[in-house]
Structure formats: C-alpha cells, structure tokens
Chain A
Amino acid sequence: METSGETLQGWGGTRAAGVEIRSEDLAAITRGAVLTRGLGRSYGDSSLPPPGTHSLPGSALADRILSFDTNSGALRAEAGLSIGEIQRLFLPRKWTFPVLPGTQYVTLGGAVAADIHGKNHHVDGTIGRHVGALLLRVADDSVVRCSRQENYDLFQATLGGMGLTGHILEVEVALKRIPSPWIWRESERISGIDAFIEALAQAARDWPYTVGWMDALAQGASLGRGILIRGRWAEASEAPKKPPRSRPRLQVPFALPGWALNSLSMRAFNTLYFHRHPKHPKRGIVHPESFFHPLDVVRRWNLIYGKRGFTQHQCVLPEKDRPGAAKRYLESLTAGGLGSFLCVIKDCGPEGEGLLSFPRSGISIAVDLPIRARTQETVNELNERVLEAGGRIYLAKDSLSTPEHFRAMEHRLEKFEVVRRRWDPERRLKSAQSVRLLGDSA
C-alpha cells in the first residue's frame, strides 16, 4: 500500500497519521526522533509513529557501504542499505547475505530490529548471530557502539527490539561465501500437517534451506497439506556460467475490490497450487530470487487484499514439548472460517541472543488474514492456541494481538524492559506498536 499524503502504512495496510522524512544524513534526522522507519515492510504497526508524533525519520537514503573485507566477508554499512541491494552487488562475487527473509526489501536496520530469520534458521539462526557490531543513536541522543564486547546489554536488546532501544545508524554483518549465485532446489508434495513436521525435520538434517507452503484451507485428512521446498547453493559445476540477472517485475495497479479475495477464490488458488505440483519430487537449478523472495516479483502485492488490507499471524509453537500444537492451531484457523491466502511453515532452531527475538525451537507458522469483521476474533483465538503451546508471536507481523496475550506469551519482556530502562529511562523511544503492546504512553 502506497504511503500517501499525511498517512503512513504498514505493509498490511495498518495506518497512522504522520509523514516520513528521508535524508542521506541519518545521524542528523534521527536526533530527537522517537523511531526510525526503514522500507516499511513490517506488516503491522511496528514502523508507525505513536499517536501524537507527526514525523519519523526514514533510513532508506542512508545506504552507503562503509567497508568490505574481501577475505572475511565482513561488511559495514549505513542502516538504510537494503538486503536486495547487497544481494545484487555481492551475489555475482559469490557472497550472500547470511539470512534472507521472505522479501529483499528490508533495510539492514530493519533486519536487526526484527532480528529476521529465513529458510536456514535451523542451521544459521537469526541475523543477530551474524552481526558483529551496531552503531546506535540512543534515547539521550548520544551515539553508542554496541557489540558482544561493549554495551552487550544494549546489543542484545536491539536484536529483535523493534527499534525501541535506539536508532540503528550502522551495521556490521558477515556475508557468507557461496560456491555459485544459483540455487539447487527440490520440492515435493506433503499430504498433511503431521507428515509436514516430519518432512521438515528430515530435510533439516541435510539441507541448509527448508520451508513449506501450506494449503491452509484444506480440511479433514488433508489439513496442512502442501509443498515442502528444500535448497542449497548450487556448486559451480552445476550452475549456469552467468550470474542471475534481475527479473522483470509485475505490479498490482490498484487496490483490488474487497470481494476479489474471498474464500472461494482463495480455495481455488490453493487447490490449484497444490495440484499443479507433480506427484513426484521436482528438482533443478533456480534463480535465487525466485527461491528466497518469490513474492517480490509482484510489486505492491499487498493490494490484492483491497483497501481494508490484511494482517499476518506468525507464531512459533514448541511442537516437541506440546505435540499436536500445530494441528490445533490450523484447526482453529479453519474453524475461524476466514481462510488464509498464503500459509508458510518452517521449523526453527534454538533461540538466539536477542532479548525479544522471535524464533525459538519449534514449528513456525505464518498465515495471511484479510481484515474482516471477525479478524480480531480469529487472531485472539489463534493467540490462545499459541499461549497453550507455550509459543510466541512475531512482532514484525503483528497489528491485532492484545497486550494481555503478548505479555502472557513473553516471559522475557521484563529482561528487555530492564535494559530499556537503563538506556531510555523516560521511554522517549516508542512506536505505535509499543504503545499498543508495551503500554508506552502516546
């Protein structure tokens, strides 16, 4: 959804009054500001100003690369540099960003603030694991360096801290060596949720990248059926000689009418998508972008949800401690009757260092929910399932969870607040989301 006039929006279409001020000089525009905005790809209200704040600094123009070590892959850059730009520049040189989320339109600052994860979470963890140091403008306006050696509390709280600990100005991250810039991809049909969890666990043993697409509308015996995708960087010998070229983009021209995405069209799409995949496994070399960021090929795809927009509910469920948690979650989803156009499943590895970082070992499920009269109710219901399973939700996607649910899920919140109190005793840094969930004053 386009950010227009005096309104800022999250990717799902959550709105707040305000404007974004972008400048190449991020250090200057963050002075005295309450929150920095990146590319606005968080779905909910994490990048929106709290009520009463009119303008937010935007980091996207502060995108200089400050240093790159061609031996170790250590990259230092300003926080507005995007993952897509890093991939465009470095993939042909056989380096990759170590953790690739579902979209490449994420700034380094945004990646750290959400402590993003990707298809390789089970082996490589979140981006935090690959970050060496950060330069932050903290609440008292001073500029502070933090890392595992200095100001570690601030470093830990900033990984996944949703920008509430300071304005991220610079990021040091280690790129990873790859044998070629192409991907060897395999995919196969999976019959149901139990088989899915088993197949993910099995694939995790041999494959660095795994993910599943699920038909969230199938019910009964087909509940949780879908397609498992696994991949690895192709060896130089099996990859095309030329580096991948940038792909042409399609664009959703305007917000589709609200009725365009109804349970019938969603069901048709999902059924078609499932049956289009052959019964036998598919394998071959694919473009890295189609593997990591399939949705990026359609610009403004969020507009298919119409003017009312959508929300994503992403949670991680410790399936080992509570077998059947994922199944119960999907049952609640289908019972809600709202349907989900897109549903993604992934197994996560152990928790990282970030104090509020989302992933922990278990099964992560993400569902897109159109905004309708009963969306709030469905989200509440899903959060009950998450709570029962001892899981948690991903703040970068959230716009509808209640503070009660969030607090009950988040046992680490007090530890985070301790660090926040130390660096920002007056709670000057805040967002629309922190006002909603953490009780910050507007």
Chain B
Amino acid sequence: MRVVALGATRGMGRALSRLMAERGDLLFLLGRDPKELDKASRDLEIRAGSGLRFGSAHCDLEQPDGFAAALDQAVATLGGLDCVIVSAGVFASQTELEEDPAVARRMLEVNFARTVEFCEHVRRRLLAAGGGRLCVFSSVAGERGRKPVVLYGAAKAGLSCYLEGLDHKFRRLGLVTVCVKPGFVKTGMTAGLEPPPFAGEPKPVARRILRAIDRGTPVVYVPGIWRWIMLVIRHLPRFLMRRLGF
C-alpha cells in the first residue's frame, strides 16, 4: 500500500507505521517537527530494510492552509495513494482544559474541526483515485459524556460521528473509513497518568488496528476489551453516570 501517515512520529501512530514499513508498505510521513519526521523516516527505512526511502513533509493540524500542499506532495512522491492514517491530535486533562480557555479552544479545534478538515482533503483525493482507506484515531472518550473527559470527549464524539457518516455515505464508492477508538494505551501521551486496568501497549494495539485497516472494519476498539467495557458504559442510566467518578 501507498500510505500517508499524519502523527507517525510517536505513540500508536509510530507502532502502526513500523508494522506497515516492515511488511513492505510504502510510507510518507506528515508532521510538525522536521527533525522528528526525519528521525522517524530513518527508523522506518532501517526497519523495512528494503532500501526504499520514505519521504516526509511538514503538516500541522493547526495550519489548515498547508493541508492541500502537504497531501499533494505526498501523493506525488508515492505515485498515488491507497491509505491515509491520522493519529495526530492533542491531549490535555479536564482540569487543564477547564482552567485555560486557550488550551480548550486549541484542543477542540485540532481534535475536531482541523482533523475533519484534513479528512475532507483526503476524502476528495481518495474518491478521485477510485477509493482507498482512511484510518482516523478517535477515542472511547467520545462514547459517552463523562466527568474526566467532558471537553476532550466532546471533540472525539464529534469526530467519531463524522467518521461514521463518511463511512455510510462513501463506502460503496470505495472510500473505506476505519475509526480507531483507543481505551487507555501506555504511550508518551498518557505518561504520568495512572494506567487503569486493561491498559494496552502500543505494539499489540497497532497489530489490531492494522488488521482492521486491512479488513475495512469501520470501528475498532483497542485493546479489544474496551469494546465490551464501552458497551456497558453506553447503557448505564444517567443517574448512575452522574454518581460515578469516571
């Protein structure tokens, strides 16, 4: 596959891009920091071991004016496009988000509006090419309004909803959307937070996501057990949710 990855320098995106590079996929990385992008591409090239070079370009979710150019450059370098992975995003605790409106605005913009805007650019390109796969990282936080993730969850709920609509509307035209809903995964993003039971590691989580991309599974929970946890949480009555701490 010819893959464009936004956010592959760290966390689950890094683990996923490594799996893809090792099995022979051709990658092009998008991200904010040129140094990090460079290191990530070298790492992937050495792991792939095939002598292929992986290009990269600057793309920042906070600068939507650059989306088109970055994607154009990626498509030109790859000689086409089969799959786009969006694992970039920002994270902040509910306390931080409540205390600083600027932090909240940035989180809402990046995780919802800008991510959707980026996906719209991808949608046009993939549909024009006759189809392809779009894999976007949302979160279990978007499943239900919950005390520790009021704002973060709201942005992710919007994103999940958009991805579902996209999938319903365009799957028959060849655009396959995969919405990833991670529970707690031990990456740099969650460093310092106490891992709850059923916390996952990036590597096995990435294997599960890759299977979902290959099969075209519209929604994938990682680790898998979160599918059942969220099933319960979605059905809890409001009076109970109000009392619970999570």
Any B CB within 8 A of the CB of A194: no
- B211 → chain A, closest Cβ, in Å? 17
A1-37 vs B, CB cutoff 8 Å, 1 = contact: the mask equals 0000100000000000001011111000100000000
Within 8 Å of chain A (Cβ to Cβ): is B187?
A: yes
**A177 CB–B CB distance under 8 Å:** no
A89 within 8 Å of B by Cβ?
yes
Contact status B42-A67, CB under 8 Å: yes
Interface assignment of B151: CB less than 8 Å from any CB of chain A: no
* Cα distance A410–B214 in the bound complex, in angstroms: 57
Bound CA–CA A89/B180 (angstroms):
27
* Given A65-B46, A67-B46, A93-B49, CB of A21 within 8 Å of CB of B39: no
Q: How far is the CB of A182 from chain B (nearest CB, A)?
A: 19
Cβ of A138 to closest chain B Cβ, rounded Å = 22
Task: Please name the 9 residue pairs, one residue from A and one from B, whose CB atoms are nearest each other, closest first.
Answer: A23-B188, A64-B43, A24-B188, A24-B10, A23-B191, A65-B46, A68-B46, A21-B191, A65-B43
- Give bound CA distance, A22 to B11, whole Å: 11
- For chain B, the bracket of interface size reads 10 to 19
A65, B226: Cα distance in complex, Å: 32
Select which of A22, A64, A93 is within 8 A of B191 by beta carbon. Answer: A22
* Tally of A interface residues using CB under 8 Å: 17
**Considering the chains assembled together, what is the distance between the CA atoms of A67 and B44 in angstroms?**
11
Number of A-B contacts (CB under 8 A): 41
Residue A61, interface by CB 8 Å = yes
Please give the distance in Å from A79's CB to the nearest CB on chain B.
14
Interface 1/0 per residue, B1-42 and A, CB below 8 Å: 000000001110010000000100000000000000001101
Please tell me if the beta carbons of A64 and B40 are within 8 angstroms of each other in the complex.
yes
Whether B43 contacts A66 by the Cβ 8 Å rule is yes
Q: Looking at the complex, which one of A25, A55, A65, A67 makes contact with B188 (CB distance below 8 Å)?
A: A25
B42 touches A24 (CB 8 A): no
Q: Which residue of B lies closest to A64 (CB)?
A: B43
Give bound CA distance, A19 to B194, whole Å: 9
Q: For the complex, is B237 an interface residue (Cβ under 8 Å from A)?
A: no
Q: What are some 8 contacts across the A-B interface (CB < 8 A)?
A: A19-B192, A22-B186, A24-B14, A24-B187, A61-B202, A65-B43, A66-B43, A93-B49
Shortest Cβ distance from A29 into B: residue:
B191
Hey, which chain A residues are within 8 Å of B10, CB to CB? Answer: 24
CA distance A67 to B42 in the complex (A): 7
Which residues on A sit within 8 Å (CB–CB) of B124?
Answer: none
B97 to chain A, nearest CB (A): 21
CB distance from B143 to the nearest CB of A (A): 26
Distance, CA A312 to CA B22, complexed state (A): 38
CB of B205 to closest CB in A, whole Å: 13
Instruction: Give B7 Cβ to nearest chain A Cβ, in Å.
Output: 12
Q: B105 near A: Cβ within 8 Å?
A: no
- Say whether B42 contacts A22, CB under 8 Å: no
Q: Is B47 an interface residue (CB 8 A)?
A: yes
Given A61-B187, A64-B43, A66-B43, A24 and B49 contact (CB-CB distance below 8 Å): no
Query: Across the two chains, which residue of chain A brings its CB closest to B22?
Result: A89
Chain A nearest CB: distance from B198 CB in Å?
Answer: 13
Which A residues are in CB contact (< 8 Å) with B9? 24
A44 to chain B, nearest CB (A): 24
Provide the bound-state CA to CA distance between A321 and B190, in Å: 54
Per-residue 0/1 for A67-100: is the Cβ within 8 Å of any B Cβ (1 yes, 0 no)? Answer: 1100000000000000000000100010000000
Looking at the assembled complex, report how far the CB atom of A74 sits from the nearest CB atom of chain B, in whole angstroms.
12
Contacts of B49 in A (CB 8 A): 89, 93
Q: Tell me the complex Cα distance, A65–B44, Å.
A: 8
A93 vs B22: C-alpha distance in the bound complex, in angstroms?
13
Residue from A23, A24, A29, A89 whose CB has the most chain B CB atoms within 10 Å? A24
Report B178-212 CB contacts with A as 1/0, cut-off 8 Å: 00000000111001101000000010000000000
Give A68 to B47 CA distance when docked, in angstroms: 10
How far is A55 from B49 in the complex, measured between Cα atoms in Å?
A: 37
Q: Are B40 and A61 in contact (CB under 8 A)?
A: no
CB distance from A438 to the nearest CB of B (A): 29
In the complex, the answer to whether B186 meets A64 with C-beta atoms within 8 Å is: no
B residues less than 8 Å from A25 (CB atoms): 188
- Cβ of B188 and Cβ of A61 under 8 Å apart? yes
- For window 333-349 of A, CB contacts with B under 8 Å fall at none
Which residues 31-71 in A have Cβ within 8 Å of B in the complex? 55, 61, 64-68
Which B residue's beta carbon lies closest to that of A67?
B42
CB-defined contacts of A64 to chain B, threshold 8 Å? 39-40, 42-43
Given contacts A64-B39, A65-B42, A67-B42, contact A89 B47 (CB under 8 A): yes
Which of B11, B22, B47 contacts A24, CB < 8 Å?
B11
How many angstroms between the C-alpha atoms of A22 and B190 in the bound complex?
A: 9
Distance in Å: Cβ of A96 to nearest Cβ of chain B: 15
A208, chain B: closest CB distance, angstroms: 25
Q: Shortest CB–CB separation between residue B175 and chain A, in angstroms?
A: 31
Q: How far apart sit A67 and B43, CA to CA, in the bound complex (Å)? A: 7
Bound together, the chains give a CA A379 to CA B186 distance in angstroms of 37
Report the bound CA distance from A55 to B22 in whole Å.
34
B residues less than 8 Å from A19 (CB atoms)? 192, 194
Nearest residue, chain A, Cβ from B10: A24
CA distance A285 to B91 in the complex (A): 50
Per-residue contact bits, chain A 346-363, to B (CB 8 Å; 1 contact, 0 not)? 000000000000000000
| Chain B residues with CB below 8 A from A65, complex form | 42-43, 46-47
CA distance A64 to B39 in the complex (A): 8
B137 CB to closest chain A CB, in angstroms? 16
Q: Determine how close the nearest CB of chain B comes to the CB of A411; give it in whole angstroms.
A: 41
